[in-house]
Structure 1
Amino acid sequence: MAIHLNTAGAGLPAPAVPGTVARFAALEAELGPYEAEAVHADDLDRRVYDLLALLVGARPDEIALFGSATDAWCRIVCGLTPPRGSRIWVTPYEYAGNLIALQRLAARHECVVEVVPASPSGDLDLDWMRRNLDDRVAVVSLVHMPSSAGVVQPVEEVGALLAGSSAVYVVDACQTVGQLPVDVRAIGCHVLTGAGRKFLRGPRGTGFAFVARELWDRVAPPFHDVHVAEVRSLHHYEVTADRAARFETAERSSAAVLGLVAALEHNAVTPAGAAPEVFAALADAVATTPGTRVLAPGARRAGIVSFVHERCSPERVRDVLAGEGVTGWVGFGAHTPLYLASSGIDRFVRLSVHHYNDLAQVDVLRGALSRAVNG
């Protein structure tokens, strides 16, 4: 069986997920899709929201479901209406997809996007944030952990710093839900988004957003679907959903949502993320391989170890590892442009561990990596 070191891309499905998805597909074929949904109405309409709320410390009515974490993030953030001339803060670790959306938001509202500087070690300059925070800062976007490196950003400290300001605080937790404890009240954010397919071990095609109640009327989505709004006249419609689900669309994969429920139930009784000694062993295996340059900014790291090698291409490393039953991934610097692409890094190897990885597997990786760079 392959050693899966690519949970940062997509995790191995939790044990009950494949069967849950398959059984619902079979039920659709037997009864009809609408009829199958009716059988599972409680899971689809209530339980999935309850479980996601429990996961991130929110209320069920503050949760909305989407087809991906990016869809969730863009659906909410792109609906913000910052005042003209506002400042939008990002960090050097911002995901490219988020940056594209923020650039468009800034262009529409004549705002400016600014980068919160980091220290030479890679940690955010919180003092700079304190000195420069003013009423013009309208949006602050933090990626809790970038997909390119395992740096854990200080989301709680930033939330405390922003408390009482007029800024909308958005946290992309795509790589941390299911890996690290995530509590929106402790963080103090207005929006938090996550993926079902990574460390939660749910199906692809699932994502979600926490949207604080105070923000609901400040987000102007491109449309409201008919399951959350009613047309009152030729020129007027009314949003009838008094919950964050007002930002969803009616059509979704019920099989995927039920798979997400199964993953969330499994997540509730399994360890969060890899054991510390497993991550430490992975980091050591990479760092002690001659010729590697580890991409390891920041004081606090977890889950993901990325690197380049002075002689071997990322593709060669990936392929040799795959030949020995170890699954890694080739990442692209362009996906984290302010951190990697600006440093001249085009591609890199990314390895990631979860609770299903152990020290014996890391030992196999250590040997395979040595052969990959010395072959």
Structure 2
Amino acid sequence: MNVQTPQVERTVRLDAATAGHTPAAVRAVVTELLRREDEYGTHELEEYVEDIVHTEVPARLGALLSVPATGTTTLVTGGADAFRETLDRLPVGPADRIWTTPYEDVARLTALFALRDRTRCRLDVVPLDARGDLDLEWMAAHIDEDVALVSVAHVPAGCGIVNPVEEIGRLLAPHRALYAVDVSYSVGQLPVNAARIGADLLTGDAWRFLGGPVDVGFACATARLRSALTDPGPARYGQEPPRTPHSASVAGLNTALLLHEKDASAAPRQDLYPQLRDAVGRAPGIELIAPGRVQSAVLAFRHDELTAAQLRRELRARGIVLRKTVAQEMPLHLPGRGITTALHASLDHDTTAQDIARLGQALDAIVSAHRPTEVVLPRAVGGSLAPVTAAQSRPLRGTRGHLTLLR
């Protein structure tokens, strides 16, 4: 008697923008180096991977980002850490203005607020046009030599808009302003060319679309920025000293970069985005959070009654993993739209059309299960019957708020 084992559908991970699915080769490298460190000690491990850390990774990052292999790239624990450490050394004063955007994430915005409070500079927010894109005409009309720094996210943390970082770089080029671009949510899924962007500071994380280990990222600084920064000096009270990533994580990043070099399919298929948008958007009660004219492989959305936490749990029960995003992730944008929580779907290199179809079917099933049901109840007077809608008990969206950094 042959007994067939039932096939279990694989888990569909649509959370590459949170922490991408780490390739087996990357996990193997990190695991082996941690074992080696445990056996021989930290100093031996650092010597063992010295060439990887100082030669191979800078060369591969240089090729990926179109920057020189030496002298420009620093390995960091994360892009936000590098941004904060740069602002700590930025010589600005009360007469200077800093530009940020409504799409700035909470970590970088916190660093900008700290810079403003410390130096008394002015922090301005670039407005959006009617479509949700950064208003380039406003920027062109208001740029002057008082603007010391402009900070822009290539792809923001809380939605999938692709900001026009190259156009902004050309607009700023004739002026004094230093230009900082975060590519944490774009590198590995979109081409990132530092030369064409024209940024003085390019920061990014390795554990999202690149598929590298956590707590390792990079910062690329131009000579103009390096010459403008002051000496670090003694750390202020409560300020953490700069950290460096673990050697095993750097070697894991090296393997992730090697995989991207060898295989063009290591990046998400951008052509699947319209299918993702259609699969999510057709479910009743779903609102897409997709501002702007150009989108990446990331889609944020919410339901008009079901909470993001409830949707995420029910999708997970069906084998589909998404990320929950909260208002404080983009304090200058999401709260203004009345959004407290939402879900984030992001394509990975191995996402298929079938995976997206499963997401759409699951959303339809979940939403249908929570729709009001139509039952027939007798009227109080007369013998005729009429349908009366009796809604199932459902939580209301927005019943739990989240703190933001707005003041």
Does TM, normalized by the shorter one, top 0.5?
yes
- The equivalent of 1:163 in structure 2 is 173
Aligned equivalents of 2:116, 2:206: Cα separation in 1: 29
1:63 to 47, 58, 73: 73
Classify 1:295/1:58 alpha carbon distance in 2 versus 1 (closer, same or farther; 3 Å): same
Identity %: 33
Are 2:37 and 1:28 equivalent residues in the alignment? yes
- The equivalent of 1:140 in structure 2 is 150
1:300 to 294, 300, 306: 294
Amino acid at match of 2:114: R
Are 2:322 and 1:323 equivalent residues in the alignment? no
Equivalent residue of 1:61, what SS? coil
Across the aligned residues of Structure 1 and Structure 2, the Cα RMSD in angstroms comes to 1.6
Aligned equivalents of 1:371, 1:202: Cα separation in 2: 34
Aligned-pair CA distance for 1:288: 0.9
Aligned equivalents of 2:41, 2:18: Cα separation in 1: 33
Aligned equivalents of 1:158, 1:113: Cα separation in 2: 18
- The equivalent of 1:81 in structure 2 is 91
Question: Highest Rg: 1 or 2?
Answer: 2
C-alpha contact (below 8 Å) 1:150/1:303 kept by paired residues: yes
Aligned equivalents of 1:2, 1:220: Cα separation in 2: 49
C-alpha contact (below 8 Å) 2:260/2:267 kept by paired residues: no
Are 2:366 and 1:372 equivalent residues in the alignment? yes
Residues 126-147 of structure 1, C-alpha deviations (whole Å, 9 max, x = no match): 1111110101011100011111
- The equivalent of 2:161 in structure 1 is 151
Amino acid at match of 2:257: L
Aligned equivalents of 1:253, 1:40: Cα separation in 2: 11
Aligned equivalents of 2:270, 2:244: Cα separation in 1: 40
The number of equivalent residue pairs is 353
Classify 1:224/1:144 alpha carbon distance in 2 versus 1 (closer, same or farther; 3 Å): farther
Are 2:17 and 1:8 equivalent residues in the alignment? yes
Aligned equivalents of 2:87, 2:287: Cα separation in 1: 35
Aligned equivalents of 1:272, 1:73: Cα separation in 2: 27
C-alpha contact (below 8 Å) 2:60/2:257 kept by paired residues: yes
C-alpha contact (below 8 Å) 2:75/2:244 kept by paired residues: no
- The equivalent of 1:216 in structure 2 is 226
C-alpha contact (below 8 Å) 2:98/2:147 kept by paired residues: yes
Greater relative contact order (Cα 8 A, min sep 6): structure 1 or 2?
A: 1
Equivalent residue of 1:348, what SS? strand
- The equivalent of 2:257 in structure 1 is 264
Classify 1:250/1:112 alpha carbon distance in 2 versus 1 (closer, same or farther; 3 Å): closer
Equivalent residue of 1:8, what SS? helix
- The equivalent of 2:307 in structure 1 is 313
Equivalent residue of 1:121, what SS? coil
Aligned-pair CA distance for 1:27: 1.5
Aligned equivalents of 1:5, 1:319: Cα separation in 2: 14
Aligned equivalents of 1:301, 1:353: Cα separation in 2: 12
C-alpha contact (below 8 Å) 2:215/2:245 kept by paired residues: no
Equivalent residue of 2:262, what SS? coil
Residues 3-46 of structure 1, C-alpha deviations (whole Å, 9 max, x = no match): 11001110001231110001111222332221122122110221
Structure 1, unaligned stretches of length 5 or more?
226-247
Structure 2, unaligned stretches of length 5 or more?
1-9, 236-240, 370-407
Aligned-pair CA distance for 1:272: 5.8
